[in-house]
Chain A
Amino acid sequence: MSVERPRDVVALAVMTNRMEGVVRKMTNTLFRTARSSLLNTARDFSCCICTADHDLLVMAESLPIHVMRGPDLMCAWLAQCHPRPTRGDAFLHNSPYRGNSHAGDHCVLVPVLDDQGSWRATAVVKAHMADIGNAEPTTMTATARDVYEEGALIFDCMKVQEDYRDVEDVIRMCKTRIRVPEDWYGDYMGMIGAARVGERELARVGEEVGWDAFDHYVEDWLDYSEERIRATIRKLPAGRRAGSEMHDAIPLPGVEEGVEIKALVTVDPQAAEIEIDLRENPDCLPCGINLTESTAATSALIGVFNSIDHTVPRNSGSARAIKVLLRENCCVGIPVHPASCSLATTGLAERLGAIVQRTLAEFEDGMGMAAPGPECPPATSSLSGRDPRHGGAPFVDMMILGNSGGAAHARGDGWVTNGETSDGGSMMRDSTEVLELLRPIRVWSDMIVTDTGGAGRFRGAPSLYVEYGPVDTDLEVMYAADGTVNPALGARGGEPGALLRPFMRRADGEVIQLDPWGHVILRPGETIISISSGGGGYGPPHERDAEHVRHDVTEGWVSSERARAVYGVELADDGSVEQAATAALRSEIAAGGVERPAGDDSVLRLIAPGERLWPTAPSGGD
């Protein structure tokens, strides 16, 4: 079909900078104007541009789990539902069965049309809403047996703007169902603003360079991206390896023993392709942790992109060299209605990415990554209640503090504020002061925990200890945590990170363990204690640079006991490394001859009654 045409290398370089600029403008608009802290502080949203053929063209700084696969599927579906859109149209979409990540992510799709009305590109904005009108005040329900119990309103490419004006029927429906409707509408307006900025900027590009030149650029850019990744894969070692991970149990029939998922990873340098086969996995599960087509494929892609040259562009072009094999009605495949995919961006998505990158690590030293700490600890809960400072006004929001630790990789320690591998640490975290200003809560603690990062040549990031509770009111807290039983595993001899542990401190000071799938109503004087999971280590701990171990001890990341027992590093009284003793200890460890002492529990020590600040009820008074 296409005529042989020389690649315009100048346009390629210039336009690529420009397209990233368009996405950054979209991103800035939503970040600065949104109303929920999930968007305006944690930045749990993404913007991207898809082509006329519904390929992902550019994602800039978006969250990988939101966009690497999915916007392409959604745009293709939009074209089936609305083949001839007109200028001024915008569509609201969140169907997990039609390309979206999970129902909690609302998407606004705006087709960009040329003067003749031809569809040239699509501006896509996807944002994790604080509330979408579910049965319970959270967008992430692990224990929902199906989408009905989850209670999500599903918008399947519904026209939400016509002629640049809201279709009020849809808005009224949302406002009737979604909690704290003014905040939802504020966030929705920010999304529309962002999508319109993208539309305007793309229209300018079309006007200035011509739409045919734009199409040529698109073709060249996707081809270039494909060439880049194929050149990278050609240099990798060949092989086929299987990997697996275990997701924690959920108290529902069929999943009460936990869920094991597997991936078969094939690297074929000759064909310059990587294949991830996910078909040998359980059917859709009767709970909320099923992945969607978007997040199953994306998680596999993330595992691959985490393991190769990071300068390879991420788009539909480079994705051509990575075959992800999915099957219908599979918990890590293509879900079938009415399976619930409420947690499709976290639990199994994290596990799946971890399998792929840990398996790739086994191909060759220097490649791949360990597993990141599983999510989501109660420091990332949905919070709801009434604010006594504002006449009892209701609120629903999701806090993002103290998420799990990042995985160690071949060239460095785990990222402390990683949160989830599915966003590669790009999400922001809340500020204690902003949280306390916006919501009637107090954050008593926000700090790392010694000895919780998976040991290794490179160390996993540590757990974070966050303690918070309500001020002069009740607080409804909902979270869905994985990793209280199955930790983040290491890679190439690296060790697992610490487990995720949810606790509650009663008003009388007693600390009790909470369920991993928690729904708690806190009274004044009570607090949640959230210990996130640590990331896995990379490579054997006794190969860690002894100076790095010394630094870890000085800085409180690792205790001197653990430095000796696990890393084989002896420190002198002045803190310096005892070279000879360390060398001897390390060869002993390498030979497998050192028994580890049980060690005490750094978490329990940290949160023991009286050890840290905790509120003496009633709180807040002076």
Chain B
Amino acid sequence: MRLAADTGGTFTDLVVERGETVRLYKASTTPQDPAEGILNAITLAARDAECSTRAFLSEAEVFIHGTTRAINAILTGSTARTALLATRGHPDMLLLREGGRTDAFNWTYGYPDPYIPRALTFEIDERVGSQGEVVRALDEQATLAVLDRLAEVEAEAVAVCLLWSIANPVHELALGRMIAERLPGVPYTLSHALNPTLREYRRASCAAIDASLKPLMTAYLRGLEDRLHEHGFGGRLLMVTSSGGVVDADDMAAAPIHSVNSGPAMAPIAGRHYAALDGQSENAVVADTGGTSYDVALVRRGRIPVTRETWLGLEYEGHITGFPAVDVRSVGAGGGSIAWIDSGGLLHVGPQSAGADPGPVCYGRGGAAPTVTDAAVALGYIDPEYFLGGEMALDADASRRAIAAQVAAPLRLGESEAAAAIMAVATERMIQSIEEITVNQGVDPRTAVLIGGGGAAGLNAVAIARRLGSPRVVIPQAGAVLSARGALMSDLMSEFATAFFTGSDRFGHEEAQRLLDELRERCLRFAEQAAPGVEPQIEYIAEARYRHQVWQLDVLLADGRLDTQQALDRLIEEFHTVHEDVYAVRDERAVLEIVNLRARVTCPLGGGAQDPVALEAVGEDEPSRRVYFPRTGAVDAAIWRLEAMTTGRSVTGPAIVESSFTTVVLNPGARAERSASGSLVIVPGSEDAAAAGIGSGEAVSGG
């Protein structure tokens, strides 16, 4: 048996894989002691399995855990008191960042603080040059004095980022030794070891964030492991990472930056699975809707693209993690996003959110501002009697009143028109976030299946798919717990990198092959330790660009070889193709520069179990209710229970398909069918076709 628990802001999701079946559980998150929420969810599962928690846990071989612990600590400023050691003359890397601002005219706030205060930043007398040459030797005496000063200021962790440590780490390594000696027990992070990447700010920021999380994540993971053991767990504790894999808890404690933003990294793993299974596509847009945000990730030719541009807080003004992480764009448009009108009469949705508390007006918990959820209730999309399977009754009249007063009246619209306008604006914001990531990663959305995860995904998935031209929408049965479901499908993963700066005009084949072989050795060593007996998969990546460009693209090296001219020619051709994919142009005349070589090792952990298709005996009667669509106005729409839909049964819009955790709106012209895996698969069709009485001729499921 394998378990995956995802601790979110509101809920702790648990997915249990037992043999061939998968079951889902939800418990409230307990922020003071997150282990409590996890154990509560486990208790639910144990009860379901009709055994004690101890007996249940003792059966588990693997426990995979995702947590927002690290990101929360950063947001609330409760990380360790961390010092930064920087090359002399460059103490302000974290203050100056890379420049830039999100809004040139917004003078409502001052300049943001650096991640580590200047008062805890110390200059080290040393300098290495861009070719790795030691320009100025490390002044060890002065450095020892700095380390003594760190003890005086009671630094709890130390980040080290020296210029060009990626070209020659000799001084960073020396500092590491001296810290270990002089400040025993104080955790530290060396920038070149953690993230050997060009651009000193990114390395410094990455090292600073990592070091600041070490004390707390070590304590958290140790505590969790102890609690699970107390309750009978004797298996392996794995943690999900921001790059979409899992690592042993000890490895996470050693580099906790991997935990930051690991939350949204799992949904695309599940998305990839359902895209292939139900959408017959290697390309997917994976959307995860929450209460306050809409997270979008991609699957491109079966792979999940990563980015090094993840910021904590605002782009340019927050703190970059600098680490290759699953590329996820977030836009403040979720079920709780508030609709408001500015002084000129323009309708906005978000980024302000009513969150879970007080929540939308219809929750009746004191929320007064109309939200996207209120619009969905007013339009008849959400059944107020059957929200979360009827666990929570919604006040539809309150939603309508709030929309009428705060949106319809000032805009001089009808109440339903106003609600539809709120949905339209929220939809457009989501589309923009999808377009931004697809254009950045060079994916044509017309070739991609849209995977809707999260409880609110189905409200406008058809509308989004139509605008993007997506051929299919898939709403997985486990959509509401997509992250935890993804965690169970993820693999043990590690990545190794080495700086290798060269040009295609002066390429050293032997050197390149030597470095690739070294990377391969490191991957194999990792695999032997982490997953003995499992056949590891190793992928080799060259980071390349045209000469004088500064932003690299990842190019896959099919067989991990660069020892011949043919191998290099393949790399060059592949680069031109990727460049054209992403930026619409290729420059055959330019020299190619290679900056880094990386290898990613993956050890599969199984995870092949299928979702159950629970077939409840629900009558075949087709109830209906009045539902409003922008083009048609209010119409009678058939209401289907997802659980009651048998495989292959097709439903045509206007209709609503609902389950206890989601509501899917089928606009007129859309057609849906339940797949063998339990997902709802939708061909979005078009309103025009519906108006003309033409069904979308295409079969819903290809298999």
Q: A residues engaging B (CB < 8 A)?
A: 7, 9-10, 12-14, 16-18, 20-21, 24-25, 28-29, 31-37, 40-43, 61, 63-64, 182-183, 186, 189-190, 193, 196-197, 224-225, 227-228, 231-232, 305-306, 310-311, 314, 369, 389, 400, 406, 409-417, 419, 423-429, 431-434, 436-438, 442-448, 458, 461, 464, 467, 471, 554-556, 612-613, 615, 619-622
Question: Sorted from nearest, which 4 A-B pairs have the closest CB atoms?
Answer: A424-B104, A412-B110, A429-B99, A445-B89
12 contacts between A and B (CB under 8 A): A9-B347, A18-B428, A21-B432, A35-B546, A41-B98, A224-B344, A227-B345, A412-B110, A425-B104, A447-B90, A613-B125, A613-B127
CB B488 to nearest CB in A, in angstroms, measures: 35
Given B135, B163, B428, B435, which contacts A14 in the complex, CB threshold below 8 Å?
A: B428
Across-interface contacts of B424 in A (CB, < 8 A): 10, 13-14
Near A by CB (< 8 A), chain B positions 560-593 give 579, 582-585, 587, 589-590
Given A10, A32, A369, A433, which contacts B582 in the complex, CB threshold below 8 Å?
A: A32
B428 in contact with A193 (CB, 8 Å): no
B101 contacts partner chain A, Cβ-Cβ < 8 Å: yes
CB A561 to nearest CB in B, in angstroms, measures: 18
The CA-CA distance from A436 to B477 in the complex, in Å, is: 53
Known: A29-B583, A37-B550. A412 touches B109 (CB 8 A): yes
Near A by CB (< 8 A), chain B positions 66-101 give 88-92, 95-101
B385 contacts partner chain A, Cβ-Cβ < 8 Å: no
A429 in contact with B421 (CB, 8 Å): no
Known: A426-B100, A613-B88. A433 touches B428 (CB 8 A): no
Closest to B201 in A: A431
Task: Give the contact stretch, choosing among B111-119, B215-223, B524-532, B650-658.
Answer: B111-119
The CA-CA distance from A400 to B107 in the complex, in Å, is: 23
Closest to B166 in A: A433
Given A14, A417, A556, which contacts B99 in the complex, CB threshold below 8 Å?
A: A417
Closest to B91 in A: A447
B590 in contact with A622 (CB, 8 Å): no
B133 contacts partner chain A, Cβ-Cβ < 8 Å: yes
A410 in contact with B135 (CB, 8 Å): no
Given A40, A43, A447, which contacts B100 in the complex, CB threshold below 8 Å?
A: A43
B119 in contact with A438 (CB, 8 Å): no
A35 in contact with B549 (CB, 8 Å): yes
Closest to A413 in B: B110
CB B600 to nearest CB in A, in angstroms, measures: 23
B649 contacts partner chain A, Cβ-Cβ < 8 Å: no
B95 in contact with A448 (CB, 8 Å): yes
Q: Is the interface of A mostly helix, strand, loop or mixed?
A: mixed
Across-interface contacts of A9 in B (CB, < 8 A): 345-347, 411, 413, 421
CB B688 to nearest CB in A, in angstroms, measures: 12
A458 in contact with B110 (CB, 8 Å): yes
Known: A9-B413, A424-B101. A186 touches B546 (CB 8 A): yes
Near A by CB (< 8 A), chain B positions 150-207 give 163-164, 198-201
Given B111, B117, B119, B551, which contacts A40 in the complex, CB threshold below 8 Å?
A: B551
B583 in contact with A310 (CB, 8 Å): no
CB A51 to nearest CB in B, in angstroms, measures: 18
Q: B residues engaging A (CB < 8 A)?
A: 88-92, 95-111, 117-119, 125, 127, 129-131, 133-136, 163-164, 198-201, 316, 342-348, 411, 413, 417, 420-421, 424-425, 428-429, 431-432, 435-436, 439-440, 501, 546-551, 579, 582-585, 587, 589-590
The CA-CA distance from A9 to B347 in the complex, in Å, is: 7
Across-interface contacts of B343 in A (CB, < 8 A): 228, 231-232
A412 in contact with B108 (CB, 8 Å): yes
CB B446 to nearest CB in A, in angstroms, measures: 11
A10 in contact with B421 (CB, 8 Å): yes
The CA-CA distance from A447 to B121 in the complex, in Å, is: 12
The CA-CA distance from A37 to B551 in the complex, in Å, is: 11
Closest to B579 in A: A33
Across-interface contacts of B127 in A (CB, < 8 A): 444, 613
The CA-CA distance from A444 to B88 in the complex, in Å, is: 8
Closest to A17 in B: B428
The CA-CA distance from A438 to B548 in the complex, in Å, is: 7
The CA-CA distance from A17 to B436 in the complex, in Å, is: 12
A33 in contact with B107 (CB, 8 Å): no
Across-interface contacts of A41 in B (CB, < 8 A): 98, 550
Closest to A616 in B: B136
Given B103, B111, B501, which contacts A310 in the complex, CB threshold below 8 Å?
A: B103
A18 in contact with B432 (CB, 8 Å): yes
Across-interface contacts of B110 in A (CB, < 8 A): 411-415, 458
The CA-CA distance from A425 to B125 in the complex, in Å, is: 31
Given B95, B342, B585, B589, which contacts A33 in the complex, CB threshold below 8 Å?
A: B585
The CA-CA distance from A471 to B585 in the complex, in Å, is: 35
B135 in contact with A414 (CB, 8 Å): no
The CA-CA distance from A36 to B89 in the complex, in Å, is: 26
A433 in contact with B130 (CB, 8 Å): yes
A556 in contact with B133 (CB, 8 Å): no
Across-interface contacts of B130 in A (CB, < 8 A): 433, 436-437, 442
Given B134, B435, B584, B590, which contacts A193 in the complex, CB threshold below 8 Å?
A: B584
A416 in contact with B200 (CB, 8 Å): no
Given A25, A33, A447, A461, which contacts B549 in the complex, CB threshold below 8 Å?
A: A33
Across-interface contacts of B440 in A (CB, < 8 A): 28
Known: A306-B105, A414-B111, A425-B100. A620 touches B129 (CB 8 A): yes
The CA-CA distance from A412 to B109 in the complex, in Å, is: 5
Known: A21-B435, A29-B584, A619-B135. A446 touches B99 (CB 8 A): no
CB B344 to nearest CB in A, in angstroms, measures: 4
A10 in contact with B101 (CB, 8 Å): no
The CA-CA distance from A82 to B449 in the complex, in Å, is: 44
Closest to A183 in B: B548
CB B3 to nearest CB in A, in angstroms, measures: 41
A415 in contact with B198 (CB, 8 Å): no
